[in-house]
Chain A
Amino acid sequence: MPYVIASGCIDVNDKSCVEECPVDCIYEGERKSYINPKECIDCGACEPVCPVEAITQDRAVAEGDEPFVEDNRAFFTEVLAGRDEPLGTPGGARKIGDLGTDTQLVLAWEG
């Protein structure tokens, strides 16, 4: 039951959540950040610190934000714009840094 970052994050990308995550599973994109569902340990430390309340458990996303459950996964399984291979499970966002790109869904998001 991983946590999910939904549309509220787009173009805000505050990243307070990144500082709370004990397993460093929140990766920075350009317009928003993404939680790696395979690396998330469900501890919930990220949820209360988001200033725009964009983070919930996957089974509790707000109405209209359901596509973000799959999209958080897609960030790691799709080949992202500007990259050659999927990210997979890198084992820590700090090592990778800002990815500077987003999923197709987020790139096209007009909200």
Chain B
Amino acid sequence: MTSVKTLEVDILIVGAGPVGLYGAYYCGERSLSCAVVDSLSEVGGQVTAMYPEKQIYDVAGFPAITGRELVRGLAAQASQRDPSYLLDQEAQQLEKLDDGRFRVTTTRTEVVAGAVIVTGGIGTFTPRTLPAGEEFLGRGLAYFVPSSQEYVGRDVLIVGGGDSAIDWALMLEPLASKVTLVHRREQFRAHGASVEKVRQLDVDMITNAQVTELQGDRVLERAVVSVKGEDEPRVVEVDKVVAALGFTANLGPLREWGLELADNRHLVVDTAMRTSLPGVFAAGDITEYDGKVRLISVGFGEVATAVNNAAVYLDPTAHVFPGHTSNEPHDVPVPA
């Protein structure tokens, strides 16, 4: 069991989506130490989880940019002052300490912060599970592919019909011994051109099908696939299954933080992005106020407002206006 680490920072940002990442950058501009926590193992929030390949046309300054490129740019921008990323951990409890700071406990870390900015979007993302295979989680079944190493030379089954399933099929086909793709429907939701690429490869695509069972002794050995219209299920020899069935999001623990909620899903904020709890701010899709419009560009403005007001909360002698960034030299990282 991993022991819990403790981290002290000026600002804890809850949620590493586009707005959280931009907030981390602004903390750097204000010379405030910052940590960003997210339950997913990658940054990018809704954009990375739901539409990394799609073109986005309404981000200020970019006539068109893919979700993936936007997240890459934001992460590079944020890296200028080296924020701490606490990924793959869900922020669970929030308490106010006697010295006025906040202690936020995640599944693996205890963070003590002077102020908190909640950029939680639509809540914690958890992968949709593959009901037929839960017992093999960690023993052959995975919901993510953090590294392709363990798939080299293996028989892999990918379940899903969206961009993630198709992308992983493309990534693993040259490395794996065999790749089979199983999707519940006839049509794939993924980007047409990518689906075409998969059709050209030696990937066995089984549509109108569902995995009804995973079998094996200590390790995964085979998958039973039921195909619509076929009486007998097919048995596929596999040692790895990747379930790319999308995510569901839920505010979960955030609802218990004692913050004023609207419609049971949004945090009410004022014009300085303050929530009902002094020292806790919010920005992005999770906020609610008269006239709120849930756009990425709106979120960017809100988190800049939140960080600069949090700076004054932490030091009442500070100015809410950060100064013109062009007046200072910046070591600008080039996106990877």
Contacts and interface: CB of A to CB of B under 8 A. Distances in A.
B264 A45 contact: no
Interface residues of B, number: 21
Interface string A16-42: 100111111000000000000011010
Given A48-B187, A48-B189, A49-B185, A24 B265 contact: no
B122 A91 contact: no
A93 B50 CA distance: 20
B221 to A, nearest CB: 27
| Majority secondary structure of chain B interface residues (helix, strand, loop or mixed) | loop
Contacts of A49: 185, 189
B251 interface: yes
Contacts of A92: 250
Interface string B242-259: 000011111100010000
B263 interface: yes
Contacts of B285: 41
Contact of A38 (B246, B251, B263, B294): B263
B50 A22 contact: yes
B122 A41 contact: yes
Contact of A91 (B49, B125, B128, B265): B265
Interface size, A (range): 10 to 19
B185 A91 contact: no
Contacts of A96: none
Given A22-B50, A22-B122, A22-B249, A89 B265 contact: yes
B265 A22 contact: no
Contacts of A22: 49-50, 122, 125, 246-249
Given A38-B263, A43-B50, A23 B249 contact: yes
A14 to B, nearest CB: 11
Contacts of B251: 91
Nearest to B245: A19
Nearest to B250: A92
Given A43-B50, A48-B187, A49-B185, A23 B248 contact: yes
A39 B248 CA distance: 13
A38 B247 CA distance: 20
B87 to A, nearest CB: 19
B245 to A, nearest CB: 8
A38 B185 CA distance: 29
Those 8 A-B pairs whose CB atoms lie nearest each other, nearest first: A89-B264, A89-B263, A91-B264, A38-B263, A22-B249, A23-B249, A22-B248, A23-B122
Interface of A: 16, 19-24, 38-39, 41, 43, 45, 48-49, 88-92
22 contacts: A19-B128, A20-B246, A21-B248, A22-B50, A22-B246, A22-B248, A23-B122, A23-B248, A38-B265, A39-B265, A41-B285, A45-B246, A48-B189, A49-B189, A88-B264, A89-B263, A89-B264, A90-B264, A91-B250, A91-B255, A91-B264, A92-B250
